[in-house]
Amino acid sequence: MNAPARLSEQPLCASVDLEERGRAVVFDVLLWGAPARAFALRFDGRVVAYMNRCAHVPTEMDWQPGDFLDLDKRWIICSIHGATYEPSDGHCVAGPCRGERLMALDIVERDGQVYWYPSPDIRPVVFD
């Protein structure tokens, strides 16, 4: 049985745009057909990407545009209720949604560029 084909990669940014434990790149997507935002950041040398939606209440989490990490640059923190997430896997380690996780996007970095892959639930915004 063949694996399903991967949906077309979507260019996101240059690798240099994501500094280690720095500001995230925030981008628009369609989540279940509705406009939503996602973000990508570099943590421990790896690029990770998640929907910008707290697992507790589906609200955007950044303190300021692209600022998701706490002051020590160790945890992703929801600015609304303080849910604390492990950046490497999106797992909630403290707060009202402990044990849940952020919705991850499939992301890859190669040749100095970062790309994300749509899924059945998370699609690119198409401009006419």
Q: pTM score, two decimals?
A: 0.92
**CA 82 to each of CA 59, 61, 66, 104: distance values in angstroms, whole numbers, following the listed order:** 12, 9, 16, 19
Please, what sign has the CA dihedral across residues 22, 23, 29, 31? positive
pLDDT, residue 6, reads 53
CB 22 within 8 A of CB 33: no
Which of the four pLDDT bands, split at 50, 70 and 90, describes residue 128?
low
Which of the four pLDDT bands, split at 50, 70 and 90, describes residue 91?
very high
Whether residue 100 is predicted with pLDDT greater than 60 in this model: the reply is yes
DSSP characters for 75-128? SEE-TTT--EE-TTT-BEEESTTTT-B--B-EEEEETTEEEEE--SSEEE----
Task: Tell me the domains of the chain and their CATH numbers.
Answer: 10-123 (2.102.10.10)
